[in-house]
Amino acid sequence: MGVLMGFYETVGRLLSRERIRSTERTLRNAGITAPAESFVGFLLVVNILLTLVVFFLGLHYQVLPSFLLSVLGPTVFLPEWANIIFTFVLALAAVFLASATLVWVLLLLQIEARRMAVEAVLPDFLGLMSGNVRSGMTIDQAMWYAAKPEFGILSIEIRNVIKSAFSGEPFEKALDRLSARFNSKILRRTILLIKQAMATGGEVAEILEITAEDAREVAIQKKDISSTLLIYIIFLIFAAAVGTPFLFAVSNKLIGVLFVAFSYMPAGAPVEGNVPYTFFVQPSAPLITTEEFFWFSVATLFLTCLISSLLLGVIQAGSKMQGLKYFPFMLVLAYIIYFVVSSVLESYFASMLI
C-alpha cells in the first residue's frame, strides 16, 4: 500500500504547485485527509487506464469512421493512421472531461453537505460553549466539553483540533486549522471573533451568545425565504422536467408530419393578377430534419435541467451547488417524459408518417 501511495504521489507531482495547493484546499474542505499529490496521481492513473480501454473499444467498433460516415456522407475516407490518432484524442478528452466533472461535482456536494451540517448545529454549540466559559473554563476547555456527539461532524473536528492544542500546538493556529476544514463564512467569522476577543481580553461569553443568536436568526430567515419561494420551486421543476420535454416531443413529431405533408403537396402555381408574387407567403418544408431536432432537443434538455437545478439550489438553500444533487433526477425525468410522449405520438401518427 505504501509503494502505491508513493507511486501516486510521484505521478501527482507532475502538476504545478499552485494546482496541488488548490486541490489540497478543496480536499480539506471536503473532509478528505489524503495528500493532494496522491489523490491527483490516483486520478491520473485511473484516467489513463480508462482512456486506453475506451480507445481500444473505439478502434474495435470503428466508432469514429461510423460517425463521420453518418454525418458527412459516404464519400468520406479516413486513413488508418488518422483513425488511430483521432480516436485516441477523442477518448482522452472524453475520459478526462467526464472524470474531472464527476469528481468536481462530488467534492462540491461533499463540501456543501459539511457546511450545512456545521451551520445547522453551530448556534447550539456556541450557546453551550458560552455557558462553559461563564462557568470559569478556558476557551479550549469550553470548546472540548461543548463538543457533544449530537453535534456530529463539528464535534469530531473540534476534538481533533483541541487535542492538537493540548499537545502543544498554538491555540490560534489550531483554530485556523478548524476554520480551513469547512467552507463556511459563519464559522470563519465566529473563529475570527473568538481570536479577537482572546487578544483584546473582551467578554468571550457575551460575544459567543450574540454570535449564536445571529446564526440562529440567519437560519430562521433562510427557512422562511425557502418556504415563501415554494411556488417558484414547483414551477421551475415543472417547466424544466415536464413542460420542456413535452413541447420538444410535440415539436419533433410536428416537423415529421410537415415533412410528409409537403412531400405530397404539388408545386405551387403562379399567382394571377396584378399583385406581385413576392407579396404572398409561400409555404415550405421545415429547414431541419427530425433527427437534427432530436439531437438539439437532447442537448437543450440537458442544459435546461442543469441550469434549473442550479437555480433551484440558489432559491432553496442560497447556494447553487446544493442544486446539483437534483440534476440527475430532473434529467432522468425529462428524458423519460420526452421519449414516452414521442412514442405515444409516433403510434398516433403512424398512419401519417409512412
What is the DSSP code string of 210-239?
HHHHHHHHHHHHHHHHHHHTHHHHHHHHHI
Collapse the DSSP code of 148 into the 3-class scheme (helix H, G, I; strand E, B; otherwise coil) and give the result: coil
Clarify whether residues 185 and 148 are in a common domain: yes
Q: What is the mean pLDDT of the segment spanning 229-257?
A: 88
Of 222, 253, 270, the residue that ends a domain is 222
**Residue 80 binned pLDDT confidence (cut-offs 50, 70, 90):** confident
**Residue 279 binned pLDDT confidence (cut-offs 50, 70, 90):** very low
Clarify whether residues 38 and 110 are in a common domain: yes
Clarify whether residues 87 and 8 are in a common domain: yes
286: number of Cβ within 10 Å? 16
Q: What is the mean pLDDT of the segment spanning 336-343?
A: 92
Of 114, 138, 155, the residue that ends a domain is 114
Clarify whether residues 217 and 240 are in a common domain: no
Looking at mean pLDDT, say which of 43-47, 54-58, 206-210, 255-259 comes out highest: 43-47
273: number of Cβ within 10 Å? 6
Q: Residue 217: what pLDDT?
A: 86
Q: Is position 77 within any domain?
A: yes
Of 114, 147, 166, the residue that ends a domain is 114
Q: Is position 179 within any domain?
A: yes
Q: Residue 202: what pLDDT?
A: 66
Structural domains counted in the chain: 3
Clarify whether residues 340 and 234 are in a common domain: yes
Q: Is position 188 within any domain?
A: yes
Q: Residue 287: what pLDDT?
A: 74
Q: Is position 276 within any domain?
A: no
210 by Cβ neighbours in 10 Å (0-12 / 13-18 / 19+) ranks as middle
Q: Is position 256 within any domain?
A: yes
Clarify whether residues 101 and 179 are in a common domain: no
Q: Please check the confidence at residue 35 and state whether its pLDDT lies above 90.
A: no
Question: CA 184, CA 218: separation in Å to the nearest integer?
Answer: 13
Q: Is position 234 within any domain?
A: yes
Residues 354, 300, 318: CA angle, nearest 5 degrees: 150
The model scores a pTM over 0.75: no
For residue 51, give its domain range: 2-114
Diameter over CA atoms, the chain:
104
Question: CA 304, CA 243: separation in Å to the nearest integer?
Answer: 11
Task: Kindly report, residue by residue over 127-152, the tens digit of the pLDDT.
Answer: 888 888 888 888 888 888 888 888 88
As given in the structure block, the three cell numbers for residue 47 are: 484516467
Question: CA 38, CA 89: separation in Å to the nearest integer?
Answer: 26
Q: Which residues contact 165 (CB under 8 A, 6 or more apart)?
A: 140, 171, 174
As given in the structure block, the three cell numbers for residue 24 are: 489540497
Number of H helices, E strands in the chain: 14, 0
Collapse the DSSP code of 268 into the 3-class scheme (helix H, G, I; strand E, B; otherwise coil) and give the result: coil
- What one-character DSSP code corresponds to residue 240? I
